[in-house]
Structure 1
Amino acid sequence: MQLPIKKTIDSVPGGMMIVPLTIGCLINTFAPDTAGFFGSFTGALFNGALPILAVFYVCMGSTISFKTLPRVAGKGGVLLGSKILMGILCGVVLGHFLGEVPITSGWFAGLSTLAVVAAINDTNGGLYMALMGQYGTADEAAAYSVMSLESGPFLTMVTLGAAGLSAFPWQTLVGAILPLAAGIVIGNLDHKMRDFLSRATPVMIPFFAFALGASLDLHQVWQAGLLGLALGLFVLVVSGIVMLVADKTTGGNGVAGLAAASTAGNAAAVPTLVASANHAYAAAAAPATVLVAASVIVTSILTPPLTAWWARRVGAKAQL
C-alpha cells in the first residue's frame, strides 16, 4: 500500500521546510530528551543542522551559471539590491531601538532585528520561478540566478553589520559564503558535477528543517502566532511595493517584483547560523526562527494570488 506522503507535504506552502520543522518542534516539546536517549546517528539528526546546511549551500551554488549573469544582471541585480537595501533600512531602524536582543514581553515578545532582516533578505526562489514560468518571461525567470546569491546567512550578516549592530569577523563572513562559492565554481567547471550536486539540493531541506525544529519549543511557536502573521504581512506589503517599483525601473511591468515579495523556506535557518557566528544574537535565534518560518507560510500563501491579480491588471498573459 502506498501513502501520498510527498503529495501531502507538497500541498502545504513551504511544506518540505515547514512539516519537518514542525515534527522536530513537537518531539522537542513533548520528548525533549529523545536525542540524548538514542544518541548516535539518531541524535545527530536532531543536532546536525549546521553541517547539513553547509552541504546544502554547496549543492545550491552548483546550480548558478556564470553564463547567465551578464544577461540577467540588470533585472536580477536591481531586485537583489532592493532586497538588501530594505534589509539594511529595517536593520538600522530596529537596531536603534532593539539592538541585537529580542523583545522579551508584551504583544511583540520574540520580535528582533534579526527576525525581520532574515525574513526580508531571502526570496522564495521556487515560488518566484513558478510564477515567472506562468506570468513572466525567460529573462525574468533567469534573474533568480543572480538573486540566489542572497541565499544563506552571508547577506544577513553584512546587513546587520551595515546597520551598525554587532559586526562579524571577516573570516566568519568569508566562511559563510565559501560553501556557496565553492558550489558555483564546481558547477561551472563541470556540468556533470552540477547535475550531480543539484539533485541533492531539495533532499537536504527536510533534514536541516527537522534539526532546526528540534531546537524549538512549541510554546515559542504559540507565542509567535499573531506576530508571525504580522511579520509575513509586513514582508509581503513592504517588499511588494519596493520590488514592484524596482522592477519597473528595469523596464518590467512589476510582475517579477511582486513575485519576489516572499520569504524563502531556508531563511528559517539563517537566525541559527547568524547566532552560531556571533553569540550576541543567541537570545534572538530561537524566536526568530519561528517568526521567519511563519513569514514563509504567510508569504507563500499570499504572494501567488497577489502576483496573479497584478498580472491581470497589467495585461500579462499566463503561459499555458
Structure 2
Amino acid sequence: MNIKKTIEKVPGGMMVVPLLAGAVINTFFPGTGEFFGSFTGALFTGALPILAVFFFCIGTTISFKATPYILKKGGALLFTKISMGALAGIIAAQFIGDDPSATVLGGLSVLAIVASMNDTNGGLYMALIGQFGKKEDAGAYSLMSLESGPFLTMVTLGAAGLASFPWQTMLGAILPLVLGMILGNLDKEIRELFSKAVPALIPFFAFGLGAGLNLNKVVEASFTGLFLGLGVIVVTGSALLLVDKLTGGNGVAGLAAATTAGNAAGVPAAVAAANPAYAEVAGSATIMVAASVIVTAVLVPFVVAWYAKRIDKQSNTKGNVLVSTNNPTIAKHR
C-alpha cells in the first residue's frame, strides 16, 4: 500500500492529514484521549513536547557557515518577512482590536496573520530555487530558517505592542532551536542523526494540534484561511520581490519565499502556552495557518514559474535587440 505517497499528494499532507484526523476524532469522539489514557492519551494532548523536540531537530540543520552573499540575501529576506508580518499585525489590530482574543471575518485573529507571514516553507523554497532561481540563492535559507518556531512571532507581537512575554518565556521559546544549532555545528554526526527526525515528527505534533480542534469551527476558519494564504502571497511576495532585486537578485528568490511553512501551524499553540490571553484564538489560528500552508504551497510554484518565464522572455528579447543592432546588414540601412 502506498499510504505515504497518497498522503503526500495533498499539499502539506504530512501535516494536514494528521491534523484533520485529530480534529475528526475530537469532534465525534471527544473523550478518546481520556478513555485510553497513558501513551495514547499523551498523543492527544502532548503536541508541545513534540514541538520542542521538533524545533531542536530543525536547529541541528542550521549551519553557522555562510558566505557574505548568503548573509546579505538571507538577512534581507528574513528581515523583510518578519517586518511584513509585524506591519500586517499592526494594521490588522486597528480593525480587529488589541485584545488577543478578538477576531473578525470568520475567526481571523492577529495571531493567525502574524504566524502565517513569519515563516517560510523551506522545502518549497529550495525546490523552486533549484528549478528557476540562482544556485547561490538556495543558501539564503540557511539564515531564513531562523524563522522556525514561535520566538520571532512572539518578538513580532511584542514589537507591535500586541502582547508581552516574560524574558524567560522568550528564551524558552528559542532555546531548543539554539541548542540544536550549537550541537549540530559542533558534531556532524549529531546533525545527520537529528535532521532525519524532522519530517518524522511532523505528523505527530500535527495530530496533537488537531486533537484540540472541533470540525464545526474548522469549516468556518478554513475558508478565511484561504484568503489569508492569498494575503501572504500578495503582501509578503510584493515586498520580498522588491528586496530580492535590491540585493542583486532577479526576484525569483523573493517570490519563492512568499509562503507559509508547515511547522508554522504549531506556532499559535506555542504562543498560547506562553501567553494564555491567546488561548481562545489558538485553535482557529492553527487551522487558518494550516490553510495558508496549503494555499501558498499550491499557488506559489505557479507564480514563480510564470515570473521566471516572463523574465527569461524579457532577457531573450534584449538579447535579440543587441544582436540586431550589431548586424551589419541592419546597420547599413539605419
Out of 256, 262, 265, which is 1:265 matched to? 262
Out of 63, 66, 74, which is 1:65 matched to? 63
Counterpart contact for 1:243–1:260, Cα < 8 Å: yes
Large movers: runs of 4+ above 4 Å: none
> What CA distance in whole angstroms lies between the structure 1 residues aligned with 2:8 and 2:66?
29
* Aligned twin of 1:159: 156
| Displacement after TM superposition at 1:96 (Å) | 3.3
> What CA distance in whole angstroms lies between the structure 2 residues aligned with 1:247 and 1:194?
30
Secondary structure of 2:194's match?
Answer: helix
Percent identity among equivalent residues?
62
Counterpart contact for 1:79–1:257, Cα < 8 Å: yes
Secondary structure of 2:107's match?
Answer: coil
* Aligned twin of 1:101: 101
* Aligned twin of 2:80: 82
> What CA distance in whole angstroms lies between the structure 2 residues aligned with 1:154 and 1:122?
11
CA deviation string 1:175-209 (max 9, x = no partner): 10000000000000000111011011111001000
Counterpart contact for 1:69–1:146, Cα < 8 Å: no
> What CA distance in whole angstroms lies between the structure 2 residues aligned with 1:239 and 1:215?
30
Spell out the pairing of 1:1-320 with structure 2 (5 A cutoff). Answer: 3-68=1-66, 70-97=68-95, 98-99=97-98, 100-103=100-103, 108-315=105-312
Q: Are the structure 2 counterparts of residues 12 and 69 from structure 1 closer, same or farther at C-alpha, using a change threshold of 3 Å?
A: farther
> What CA distance in whole angstroms lies between the structure 1 residues aligned with 2:5 and 2:162?
43
CA deviation string 1:243-294 (max 9, x = no partner): 1011111110000000011101111110000000001111111111111111
- For 1:192, give the aligned amino acid: E
Secondary structure of 1:252's match?
Answer: coil
Higher CA-based Rg: 2
| Displacement after TM superposition at 1:225 (Å) | 3.3
Higher deviation after alignment, 75-84 or 90-99: 90-99
- TM-score w.r.t. length of structure 1: 0.95
CA deviation string 1:44-64 (max 9, x = no partner): 111110000100111100011
Q: Are the structure 2 counterparts of residues 83 and 194 from structure 1 closer, same or farther at C-alpha, using a change threshold of 3 Å?
A: same
CA deviation string 1:131-184 (max 9, x = no partner): 111112222111001000001100000000011112101111111000000000
Secondary structure of 2:102's match?
Answer: coil
CA deviation string 1:281-314 (max 9, x = no partner): 1111111111111111111100001001111111
| Displacement after TM superposition at 1:68 (Å) | 2.3
Counterpart contact for 1:220–1:290, Cα < 8 Å: no
Counterpart contact for 1:59–1:201, Cα < 8 Å: yes
- For 1:58, give the aligned amino acid: F
- For 1:64, give the aligned amino acid: I
Counterpart contact for 1:47–1:211, Cα < 8 Å: yes
> What CA distance in whole angstroms lies between the structure 2 residues aligned with 1:206 and 1:279?
25
- For 1:76, give the aligned amino acid: G
Counterpart contact for 1:95–1:164, Cα < 8 Å: no
Tell me how large the CA RMSD over aligned residues is.
Answer: 1.3
> What CA distance in whole angstroms lies between the structure 1 residues aligned with 2:276 and 2:93?
16
Q: Are the structure 2 counterparts of residues 22 and 69 from structure 1 closer, same or farther at C-alpha, using a change threshold of 3 Å?
A: farther
- For 2:23, give the aligned amino acid: C
Task: Give the number of aligned pairs.
Answer: 312
> What CA distance in whole angstroms lies between the structure 1 residues aligned with 2:67 and 2:260?
23
